[in-house]
Structure 1
Amino acid sequence: MTAAPVRLSHRPVDRVVWDAAAAPELLSDAPDLAALAAGMRSALPVAPSITPFDTAEAIRPYRHLRAFYLRRADGVVAVKGSEIMAGDVELHLRLLGGYRIEFPGRGRSLFSALEHFPLNEQKIPLALSVEEAVEDAVSAAAVQRAHLARFGCRARIPLPLLAVRWPDAAAEAHLRRLHPLLSGRARRTVERVAADGLGAVVYHYPAVPLRVAHLPELLRGRTGAGGGGGGWIARLSTLADPAAAVEGWLDLLARLFVLGFLPGSVESIGVGHCLEMKNAVIDGGLVDMGSVCRVEDVTEPCRFLETLLAGLADLAKTCRQFLLGDAVDVEAEYRNPSLAMVLMLHRLLPDLAARVERLGGADPRLLDVFRSAPAASTLPAEARRLLPAADTGGGHA
C-alpha cells in the first residue's frame, strides 16, 4: 500500500441523472448499498490524484485513469468520472498527449492517446460525458434486473447505484484545460460529446475489477508458484484462476443470450465492447456494459449475424490474450485467422452453444447460428446472409 494516506474529498454534484432508487429490486437485499447511494446524491468522493494508489480505504490500479474504487467487505464501490477534479489532471492530460498507442501487429498510432479517445472512441480524455454515464447505468441495470428475475441472483457485472452530472463550472474548467492540447477535429468532437455536460457513475462490483488488457503490467516481475521465472500461465495463476475466468465469461455470455441481450451493438465495436480485453475482468466478470443491446432491437438479418459474430470474435481475442499473453504476436504467428484464434473458437463455441441450449429461452436466431449443421449445405447461404453485397449479381455480362 502507499506509505502516505490518500485523502479523499467530496465534491458537490449538479444533479442525479440516474438513481438505483428507481429500480429498488436491485438493492432489496443490500440496504447498506442503498444507504451509501443515498448519501452520495449531493456529493461524490474524489481522489486527489490520477496516479495509482492502494490504501486500506481505496485503490486506483495501474491504467485505471477514469475510476478509483472504495474498498468494502463485499467488494468495491467504483467512482468513475471524478478525475476532472483531481489535482494532477492537467499533468496527466499532457502525459497522454505525449504517448502514442501501440496496436498489436500494426505498430504505433499516429494519434497520441489524448487524440485517440475523441477521434477513435468518441470519448473525452479523463472524463465521462453525461450520456456515457447514463448509458452505462441503464444498460447494467437492465441486465441485472433480468438476471435477478431469471436466476435469483445478480450477475458478475457492475451493479449501478448512481449517475450524476457535475456542475457546469467543473466541466468547463476541464474543457478549458483540454482544448489547447487537442487538434481542431478532436476539439470539435469533444465539444459535441460534452454538449450535455460531464458526469460520473457509481457502481458496486464484487472485487477490484482488474482487466485482461492490463495483465502485462500487473504480472511484470511476478514468478510462478515454485519461485522460478515460469511462463505466462504460471505467472497468470499467481493473480487469477485461468479456468475459472474463462468459465465465468462463457457462463455470463450464455446468460446474456438467454435473457435477450447481445454483448454489444455494431456501433460499440472499438469504442467499449464489454467483451474486449479492456473490459473483461480477470475474475470472469465484465464491466462497462454500455455496449449491451437487446436481441429484439437487431431486426435486420445481416446486422444480427454481424453483431453476434463480432461479440464471439471479441471473446476469442480476449481469451487468446488472457491465456497466451506473452506468446508471439497474432499476425506474426500464422495467416489470418491465427492458429491461436482457431483453437479459441474451436473450444469456445461448442461450449457456449451447449450452455445456451441448456439454459433455454434464447432467441431462435441465436440457436440457429449455434446449431450444428453440415457445412456444405449451410455455409453458402450463411455467407450470403453475412455478405449480401457479394451476391448481387452485378458482374460482367
Structure 2
Amino acid sequence: MCLQAVRFFIVNKLIFFARNLPSQFFNPLTMTVKRYVESNVTFLTLDWYTEISKYRYIFFFIMFTLYILIIYTNSTIVYLIFIHKNLHEPMYIFIAALLLNSVLYSTTVYPKLLIGFLSEKQVTTYSACLFQFFMFYTLGGSEFLLLAAMAYDRYVAICKPLQYQIIMRKTTVSISLIIAWLVPGCHMAVLAIASTEAKLCDFKIKGIFCNNAVYTLQCQRSRLITIFGVVTLLDLAILPMLFIVFTYTKIFIVSYQSCKEIRKKAAETCLPHLLVLISACLFYVYDVSIARVELDFPKTARIIMTLQIVLYHPLFNPFVYGLKMKEISKHLKGLLSQAKFITCIKIGC
C-alpha cells in the first residue's frame, strides 16, 4: 500500500508538471525541445532545410565553390591594390575596403550555411543568431557608407579637381574608413543587445540565416527596437543613398558640360559604383519588406532572394571593379600573365 501511494504521488506530480509547461516548450509536430530551462539557453531552428534536403550535398558543393571563389577574387584585388604603389590612391583604397568588407560579409553567412547543409538538424542558439544578425547588418551598413565615401571621392576628383589633394588627404580617408565600420557597429550593437531580453513566442526562423527575421520570433517588439531600427535604417541606408544620388547628379551635370575626356572618365569610374548601389538597394528593400512589413512570400522564393543578397555583391564586386577600372585591370592581367609563365616553367612547356 505504501509503495502504491508513492507511485500515485509521483505520477500526479509528473502530470501536474507536464500540464503547466508553456506551450512553446515543445514543437507539436516534431516534439523537439526548443528551450532548455535548466541551462537557460534558447535554441532555434531554421525552416529552409526541408525545401532542399534531397539535394543538400549538391547545394553544399555549389555554395562551397562560390565561397572559395568569393574569397579568392576579392582577396586578389585587395592584394593588387596593396602591393602596387600607384594604386595607393583614395579611390582604390575605398575599393579595397569594400572588397575586404565583402569577404567579411560572406564569412558571416557561408560557414554556418555550409555546416547546415551537412547537418541533420538546422539548430542554432538565440545568442549565436543575434551575433550573426549583428555582423550581417553591420557589414551591410558599412557597404552603403563605403559607397558613399567612394561617391564623395569621385565628386571631389571630377567637380573640384584642383582641391582634390587638399581634401582627400590620408587623414580624410582614414576617418572615412573608421566611420564606415564603427557607426554601423554601434547602431547594430544597440539593436542586438536590446533583442537579448525580448520574450520569444516562436522558435522557427523563416530563412537560411539570422537576419531581420529574428524580429518575427518576438512576442511583442519593443518600442526601443522599433524606433531605433528606423533610425538605423535612416542612418545606414537612406541618408547614404540620398548623398550618393546627390553627388552623382552633380558629377553627371559637370561631366555633361565638360569635354569628352571628362565624360569618359566619369563613366569609367562612376558606373561600377552605381551598378553596385542599385543592386544593393533592391536587395535590402526586399530584406526590410519581408521582416519589417512581414510580407507573406513563398518559402522557395524567399530562399532564392536571400541567397541573392549573400551571393551577388561578394561575387560580382571584384569583377565589376577589377574589369571596369583600367589600372586594376592592367595589374590583374600582369598578375595572370606572371602566374601563367611560372606554371609554364614548372611543367616544362
Scaled by the length of structure 2, what TM-score is found? Answer: 0.29
Scaled by the length of structure 1, what TM-score is found? Answer: 0.26
- Greater helix share, 1 or 2? 2
Q: Which has the higher contact order (CA 8 A, sep 6+)?
A: 2
